[in-house]
């Protein structure tokens, strides 16, 4: 099935906007469908309430479904951080998507199972690991003031970098974005350089870590988005960020097939109903009915 579909594509880029919501009439569209802010999800996987090295921020609710690759990656990287640096607090995982995707409260994206919010790893000011009590705002010095006079916690830069590194090298996902504040990015990148991490890994981290210009500064969590795979793109997964040069190119519809797609997408029921043009009277057809004949023989 996958090979047959891929045969309709040339390996360049995807035809953005070619796909619609999966319905029984669109059986070829499934998985992470559409854009992160305008998409849906089918066949999603559920992140458990907790696992090795992680816990869900919301025990209840509905926004803990994602692309199965994303859920698998989260479980794997949380386990990896816990193993590489044991004795820490769990990663606190915020919202993913609803089971069927679409709009969820508090978010404009998170609609196609490719977005997740990750709270910071934190310690006490004396660097004892502690579970992140919520989405605390980390300042440039790495400290976050807790509400109601609760003191401070400190960004656990070591574990946070381990998490970023594990995600960037995950076999399950390609990171498209990690939205985070410039201050936290600087702390993480400085730490990575001090560790002597490979320059291309640090460069990738600097590339995907981004303080968004059009939303909150993301100083209280990382909002991570994963890229579509080529196979997912064929099934309707679209965009959400740049196609970084280290990612596998996405296929593009061949022109002849694109034409068929466009023709198939034209829905006559959506066409405006045209008024019938005014008709010129026909002297014969429009002549008044003759009076009925009287009774005959």
Q: Which residues bind Zn ion (CB under 5 A)?
A: 117, 223
Comparison of 117 and 232: residue with beta carbon closer to Zn ion: 117
Q: Which residue has 């466009």 as its token pair?
A: 262
263: tokens are: 């023709």
**Nearest-approach distance from CB 114 to Zn ion, in angstroms:** 11
Alpha helices per DSSP H over 85-181: 157-168
**Nearest-approach distance from CB 212 to Zn ion, in angstroms:** 10
Question: With 0-12 CB in 10 A as exposed, 13-18 as middle and 19+ as buried, what is 230?
Answer: middle
**Nearest-approach distance from CB 1 to Zn ion, in angstroms:** 33
Provide CB contacts within 8 A for 249, sequence distance 6+: 11, 12, 13, 230, 243
Phi-psi label, residue 101: left if phi above 0, alpha if psi -120 to 50, beta otherwise = left
| Continuous segment of H or E residues that includes residue 39 | strand 38-41
Comparison of 30 and 137: residue with beta carbon closer to Zn ion: 137
**Nearest-approach distance from CB 126 to Zn ion, in angstroms:** 31
60: tokens are: 């209840």
**Nearest-approach distance from CB 174 to Zn ion, in angstroms:** 18
Provide CB contacts within 8 A for 209, sequence distance 6+: 164, 178, 180, 184, 185, 188, 189
Comparison of 97 and 123: residue with beta carbon closer to Zn ion: 97
Residue nearest to Zn ion (CB): 223
DSSP-derived letter for residue 106 is T
Comparison of 182 and 191: residue with beta carbon closer to Zn ion: 182
CB distance 181 to 141 below 8 Å? no
**Nearest-approach distance from CB 182 to Zn ion, in angstroms:** 17
Comparison of 38 and 254: residue with beta carbon closer to Zn ion: 38
Comparison of 204 and 221: residue with beta carbon closer to Zn ion: 221
Comparison of 111 and 223: residue with beta carbon closer to Zn ion: 223
Instruction: Round to whole Å and give the CA distance between 200 and 205.
Output: 9
Question: Sign (positive/negative) of CA torsion 186, 187, 188, 191?
Answer: positive
CB distance 240 to 114 below 8 Å? yes
**Nearest-approach distance from CB 95 to Zn ion, in angstroms:** 7
């Amino acid at each position: 099935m996958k090979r047959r579909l891929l045969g309709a594509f040339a390996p360049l880029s995807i035809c953005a906007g070619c796909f619609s919501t999966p319905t029984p009439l669109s059986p070829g569209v499934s998985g992470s469908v559409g854009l992160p802010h305008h998409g849906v999800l089918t066949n999603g996987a559920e992140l458990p309430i907790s696992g090795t090295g992680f816990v869900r921020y919301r025990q209840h609710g509905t926004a803990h479904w994602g692309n199965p690759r994303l859920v698998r990656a989260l479980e794997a990287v949380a386990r990896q951080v816990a193993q590489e640096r044991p004795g820490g607090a769990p990663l606190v995982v915020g919202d993913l998507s609803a089971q069927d995707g679409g709009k969820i409260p508090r978010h404009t994206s998170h609609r196609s199972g490719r977005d997740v919010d990750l709270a910071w790893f934190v310690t006490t000011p004396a660097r004892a690991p502690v579970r992140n009590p919520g989405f605390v705002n980390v300042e440039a010095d790495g400290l976050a003031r807790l509400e109601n006079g609760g003191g401070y916690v400190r960004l656990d830069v070591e574990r946070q970098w381990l998490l970023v590194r594990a995600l960037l090298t995950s076999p399950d996902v390609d990171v498209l974005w990690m939205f985070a504040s410039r201050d936290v990015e600087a702390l993480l990148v400085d730490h990575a350089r001090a560790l002597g991490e490979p320059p291309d890994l640090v460069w990738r981290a600097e590339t995907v870590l981004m303080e968004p210009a059009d939303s909150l500064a993301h100083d209280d969590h990382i909002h991570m988005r994963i890229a579509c795979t080529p196979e997912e793109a064929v099934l309707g997964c679209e965009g959400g960020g740049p196609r970084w040069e280290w990612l596998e190119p996405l296929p593009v519809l061949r022109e002849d097939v694109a034409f068929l797609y466009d023709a198939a997408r034209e829905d006559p029921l959506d066409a405006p109903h045209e008024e019938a043009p005014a008709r010129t009277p026909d002297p014969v057809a429009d002549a008044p009915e003759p009076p009925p004949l009287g009774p005959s023989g």
